[in-house]
Amino acid sequence: MKKILIMFCAVGMIGFQSCDIDKTKEGELPEVDVDVQTEAGELPAYDVDWMDINVGTKTKTITVPTVQIAMEEKEVEVPFIDAEWPNEYADEVNEQTIYVEADVTGTDYELDIEEVYAKGSKLIVISELEPGDKEIGEKTMRVSDQIVINAPDLSVKHYIIGEKPNKSFNNAYTYVSNRNELNSRLEGAKKIFG
């Protein structure tokens, strides 16, 4: 029993050492008369300040898992268009690669160049973006297609048939809901692919 009492006293002393105790009122012992009359005494009062706690945030560098979709190079067959251009462009014709790309989320997509037209000093490229059936969640996936063409250095205008994905990269192209929206833009154009 004596060991338990010593242990409780030791634990109590540790608790008091981690506190800041300020005496707030003087105490006085009771007065005692010889004829054993007593007056009420008063015990001292104390304010006990335990530790102050502040909660906030702190910037730390930690390692967290991330998911990335990596692009890799592979040898694949791409359409090659060897168009015969008018004599005025004969010296300017060289091999060029025309790309179309889109960033998508939610589900996988397929992006294909369907048609290419020449009109004046520009090429008009019409592609189609179609959703697939594989869920990819909030990850961003870049889909693309390309063709190789022998052509003079002309400006290229891209139209993509399909719903525009909500990513800033996709602002580089004009999205239309269907092919009929392009009929007026293609008047007088020569189809060279598709």
Segment 125-176, tens digit of pLDDT: 999 999 888 888 888 888 888 888 888 888 889 999 998 888 767 788 899 9
pLDDT at residue 11 tops 60: no
Mean pLDDT of 51-78: 62
- 161 lies in some domain: yes
- 61 lies in some domain: no
Please name the residue that has the structure tokens 């060897």: 82
Do 18 and 106 lie in a common domain?
no
Name the pTM for this structure.
Answer: 0.58
Do 153 and 104 lie in a common domain?
yes
DSSP string, 110-121: EEEEEEEEEETT
- Please name every residue paired with 141 in a beta bridge, in sequence order, or none if there are none: 104
What is the domain extent for residue 130? 80-193
Do 92 and 184 lie in a common domain?
yes
Overall number of domains in the chain: 2
Whether 163 and 106 have beta carbons less than 8 Å apart is answered as no
- 155 lies in some domain: yes
- Please name every residue paired with 106 in a beta bridge, in sequence order, or none if there are none: 137
- 148 lies in some domain: yes
Do 18 and 109 lie in a common domain?
no
Query: Which H helix or E strand runs over 148?
Result: strand 122-151
Do 18 and 89 lie in a common domain?
no
Residue 77: partners with Cβ closer than 8 Å, 6 or more residues away:
none
pLDDT at residue 41 tops 90: no
Helices (H) and strands (E) in the chain, counts: 1, 8
- 59 lies in some domain: no
**Cα 188 from Cα 180, distance rounded (Å):** 16
Greater confidence, 10 or 139? 139
Do 178 and 102 lie in a common domain?
yes
Q: What is the DSSP letter of 187?
A: T
Q: What is the pLDDT of residue 146?
A: 86
Do 156 and 87 lie in a common domain?
yes
Burial (CB count within 10 angstroms: exposed 0-12, middle 13-18, buried 19+), residue 165: buried
Segment 17-37, tens digit of pLDDT: 555 666 677 777 677 565 656
Strand, coil or helix: what is 13?
helix
Provide the mean pLDDT of the chain. Answer: 76
pLDDT at residue 87 tops 70: yes
